[in-house]
Amino acid sequence: MQFERFIARRFMPRRGDASGFSGPLSGIAVAGIALGVTVMVMAVSILRGFQKDITDKVVGFGSHITVTSYDRIQAYAESPVSLDSALLEAMRATPGVKHVQCYASKGGMVKTEDQIYGIVLRGLDKDYDTTFFAGCLTEGSLPKIPSNEVLISSTIGSKLGLKVGDKMRTYFWQGDSYRARAFTVSGIYNTDLTEMDELYVVGSLATVQKLNDWVVGDSNGANGAPAPQVGGYEVLVDDLKALDPTASRILSILPYDLMLTTVTQAHPALFSWLDLLNANITLILAIMCLVSAVAIVSALLIMIFEKSATIGLLKALGACNRSVRRIFLIKSMRLILWGIALGDGLALALSAAQQQWQLVQLDAESYSMSHVPVLIDPWVYVLVSAGTLAICLLALLLPVATVSRISPARTMRVEK
């Protein structure tokens, strides 16, 4: 094998050698492969970043799994669920479950001097995972639980002229009458997810419980005291890919009067659209793999044509067809690896720059995000690189086979 490697190294283009076409064409082939790898890695990274960003925002407002009462009639006014400590512990012990928390929602109207605006107050308990809202916070701080403080979106704030520290008078219907509450705006968040930002105000679970005349407290039914009532349970899972199996395990331990809804069931159109994006990426990957294969095959064919005399000489000196084919495969593999390395490096540099400085901006109202999201995953680089190498090597089998057709007598006679 040392013989083939030595000859292949001699075939590599050298600086200052402008003779023939194989040198410049080899550079074009490397550039084509590098461009193809860069486009493929960036396409997959952007798609996965986009899917993760949208999914995180939807889950941030509603969790992976929601457990509510079957008696729920209105979209933003749940029937109460008695807090069951045994069920909570059972759900927390379920494999795949990361966190379980309680919540309640209630629709209301915010009234200012010149406007009336409909909102949904989302009440959180003290054990609620507020990581998502903390990451979206733009001004102020998260509301204290329990308290009359609320977190509003920048969309609601701009429409109603509210800012941190302002009072927000809100009215809620309860039966045939209404109840008024004066909340203090503790902070402002922004997710760029328009349909959520225009709707939700985040506050305390105890506030919703009192508005609905539900049982308030932390007794969990101990010592004969009535169990607190909540709108439902929210379950966060460790891995979204294992959402359905985890949901099935939770469903098996739920009592008959509770129903389970996954985030994909609650937003079927959104997740179908995200899955549809995979088809576009598949098309991009196929096209760019074809471009890379054509680039390296073209370079190899020109190389074989230019080196036909050398091939004939090698055969005359005793080299077999197998050895000659190995020479060109080794040379082609080096060009492919150079292209893959350059493409991966360029893709990583562009991804890091976009993450750090957000160079490419988007219209938040149209795309639900202010900049192009990029998810840097080492496995994407590994799989794209391995796939490109495999496809290019498979594409080389046909042109390399032409080496066996070259006759030493004919090529040496032409070259004298």
Say whether pLDDT at 408 is over 90.
no
- Contact present, 166 and 185 (Cβ < 8 Å): yes
Q: Do 228 and 285 fall into the same domain? A: no
324 inside domain: yes
Give the domain-ending residue among 256, 289, 320.
256
Say whether pLDDT at 407 is over 70.
no
Say whether pLDDT at 259 is over 90.
yes
pLDDT confidence of residue 400: 81
Backbone angles phi, psi at 158, to 5 degrees: -70, -35
Give the domain-ending residue among 256, 287, 312.
256
CA angle 298–304–308, rounded 5-degree value: 155
Closest C-alpha to 253, from 101, 92, 59, 71: 92
Q: Do 249 and 106 fall into the same domain? A: yes
Range in 137-141, 251-255, 320-324, 389-393 the model is least confident about: 320-324
342 inside domain: yes
pLDDT band for position 323 (50/70/90)? confident
DSSP string, 171-209: EEEETTEEEEEEEEEEEEE--S-HHHHTTEEEEEHHHHH
192 inside domain: yes
pLDDT confidence of residue 18: 46
- Contact present, 158 and 194 (Cβ < 8 Å): no
Give the domain-ending residue among 256, 284, 312.
256
Q: Do 90 and 238 fall into the same domain? A: yes
Q: Do 351 and 213 fall into the same domain? A: no
Say whether pLDDT at 372 is over 90.
yes
Say whether pLDDT at 221 is over 80.
no
Closest C-alpha to 314, from 304, 324, 322: 324
Say whether pLDDT at 20 is over 60.
no
66 inside domain: no
Percent of the chain clearing pLDDT 90 (strictly above): 57
Say whether pLDDT at 71 is over 80.
no
pLDDT band for position 223 (50/70/90)? low
Q: Do 90 and 226 fall into the same domain? A: yes
pLDDT confidence of residue 206: 94
Q: Do 337 and 235 fall into the same domain? A: no
263 inside domain: no
More confident residue, 395 or 188: 188
406 inside domain: yes
Q: Do 43 and 77 fall into the same domain? A: no
The owner of tokens 């457990």 is 67
Say whether pLDDT at 416 is over 50.
no
Q: Do 52 and 136 fall into the same domain? A: no
Say whether pLDDT at 46 is over 90.
yes
Domain count across the chain:
2
Q: Do 292 and 410 fall into the same domain? A: yes
Please tell me whether the peptide bond between 378 and the residue prior to it is cis, using omega within 30 degrees of 0.
no
pLDDT confidence of residue 8: 65
Range in 78-87, 115-124, 394-403 the model is least confident about: 394-403
| Mean pLDDT, rounded, for 19-28 | 67
Could you tell me which residues come within 8 angstroms of residue 403 by beta carbon, excluding any fewer than 6 positions away?
304, 311, 321, 324, 325, 328
DSSP code, position 20: S
Amino acid at residue number 123: G
Handedness of CA 216, 219, 221, 224 (dihedral sign): negative
Instruction: List Cα–Cα distances, 350 to 57, 317, 326, 343, in angstroms.
Output: 25, 49, 36, 11
308 inside domain: yes
Residue range(s) defining the domain that contains residue 316? 2-56+271-415
Backbone angles phi, psi at 142, to 5 degrees: -70, 150
The owner of tokens 């903390």 is 134
65 inside domain: no
For the chain, give the mean pLDDT.
87
CA angle 145–137–364, rounded 5-degree value: 135
pLDDT band for position 191 (50/70/90)? very high
SS3 162: coil
Closest C-alpha to 334, from 1, 17, 42, 29: 29
Q: Do 292 and 361 fall into the same domain? A: yes
Burial class (CB in 10 A: 0-12, 13-18, 19+), 78: buried
Closest C-alpha to 289, from 22, 11, 40: 40
Q: Do 50 and 95 fall into the same domain? A: no
pLDDT confidence of residue 218: 58
| Mean pLDDT, rounded, for 280-306 | 86
Q: Do 187 and 304 fall into the same domain? A: no
